[in-house]
Amino acid sequence: MKNIMFVCHGNICRSPMAEALFRDMLKKNNLQSKVFVDSSATSYEEIGNPVHNGTRKKLEEFNISVDGLFSTKLKKSDFDKFDYIFVMDNNNLNNIKREFGDYDSE
C-alpha cells in the first residue's frame, strides 16, 4: 500500500480538497485498498476545524464529501509513514523545512 499526504497552510481548503478528490478517484477506480490518503497543515491555526465552507460547497457540486475531515498538523513521524508528501505551494515547503529541517524533496 502507498501512503500519500497532501499539505497546505491550515488544512481547511487546498489539502483537504486534494485528499477528497483523490479518495473519490480511488473509490471510482476500486483502488482504495492500494492507496491511503490523508492531509495536514503546516500551521496550528485551524487545528480541529472542519473543511472551509467554500471548499465543501465546491466539492458538493461534484458529489464529493468532506464529512469527517478536520484540520490536523503535520508531524515529524509523517515523514516515515508517508511515501509521498505533496505540498500545495513553496510557502508550505519552506514552512516544513523551517520546522523539520531539510530532507530529500524529490
Q: What is the pLDDT of residues 41-86, one digit of tens each?
A: 999 999 999 999 999 999 999 999 999 999 999 999 999 999 999 9
pLDDT of residue 103: 66
Cβ atoms of residues 6 and 18 within 8 Å = yes
Which pLDDT score, from 0 to 100, does residue 105 have?
52
- Asked whether residue 105 is domain-assigned, the answer is no
C-beta atoms surrounding 67 within 10 Å: 8
10: in domain: yes
Question: 24 is written with which cell numbers?
Answer: 473519490
Range of the domain at 88: 2-100
Please tell me the pTM assigned to this model: 0.91
Instruction: Give me the CATH number covering residue 8.
Output: 3.40.50.2300
For residue 54, being part of any structural domain is answered with yes
Q: Is residue 106 part of a domain?
A: no
> Measured between alpha carbons, how far is 40 from 106 in angstroms, rounded to an integer?
19
pLDDT digits (tens, 9 = 90+) for 12-47: 999 999 999 999 999 999 999 999 999 999 999 999
- Among left, alpha and beta (phi > 0; psi -120 to 50; other), residue 47 is beta
Residue 34: inside a domain, yes or no? Answer: yes
Number of domains the chain is built from? 1
